[in-house]
Amino acid sequence: MTLTTDNLFYSKRLKMTPPRPEDVQTMLQWNEDPEYLRNVDTDLAIPYSEKQLEDEGETKNKEVYFRLRMHEEDMLIGFVVIHSIEWNNRCGQLAIGIGLAKHRNKGYGTEALNLILRYAFHEMNLDRVGLDVIAYNAKAIRSYEKAGFQLEGRARSAVYRDGKRYDRLMMGILRPEWEIHNQIHTEGEHA
């Protein structure tokens, strides 16, 4: 393997950064969006307090957490984390969120996925990254599939929202799959 001169933390439009104290005010706005709260977690949609948001992203042994910012404006738009890391098995779980509705559906999620997967496979030396997503979140599922994730299973009727039951989908990507997927898409950009 040859080392790349690409910046591990930068993609075309985004960068992964550590948390900053000023992020909390932006993230409080995200808490006012029930779509964000209901898509980012299967738990109750409860807004975090300012104190909880200040503590979010504190480095822990079993996770690697970044905030997502746009290059040019240095504007916070989301977060990405590899959590539940099992170093002995070289695998972890991914979570991602794009905060405000105005930043969704612009390709930032897919770009952030490619960025964090490059970090997970090349820097963290993981062999597998998994995630779970609620079946009604079709936009996220499409983004995960674009990045190369495959459906691995489902927990039937695992999420209850607005009087309806939804499946929870388990998806995953292996390092060799990502490398092939990434190579195909990189070659397509240069063609």
Instruction: Please write the tens of the pLDDT for every residue from 27-52.
Output: 989 988 888 888 888 777 888 888 88
* Whether the predicted pLDDT of 147 surpasses 80: yes
Collapsed DSSP state (helix, strand, coil) of residue 10: strand
pLDDT of the residue at 72? 86
Collapsed DSSP state (helix, strand, coil) of residue 188: helix
* Whether the predicted pLDDT of 186 surpasses 80: no
The type of residue at 68 is L
The mean pLDDT of 74-93, rounded to a whole number, is 96
Out of 3.30.413.10, 3.30.200.20, 3.40.50.620, 3.40.630.30, select the CATH number for domain 14-190: 3.40.630.30
Q: pTM here?
A: 0.88
* Whether the predicted pLDDT of 187 surpasses 70: no
**Rounded Cα–Cα distance for residues 106 and 109 (Å):** 8
Is 108:98 a contact under the CB 8 Å cutoff?
yes
Domain range annotation of the chain: 14-190
**Strand order across the 76-86 sheet:** 14-17, 64-70, 76-86, 91-98, 128-134, 164-174, 150-161
Which residues have CB under 8 Å from 139's CB, separation 6+? 104, 105, 109
Which bin fits 128, alpha (ψ -120 to 50), beta or left (φ > 0)?
beta
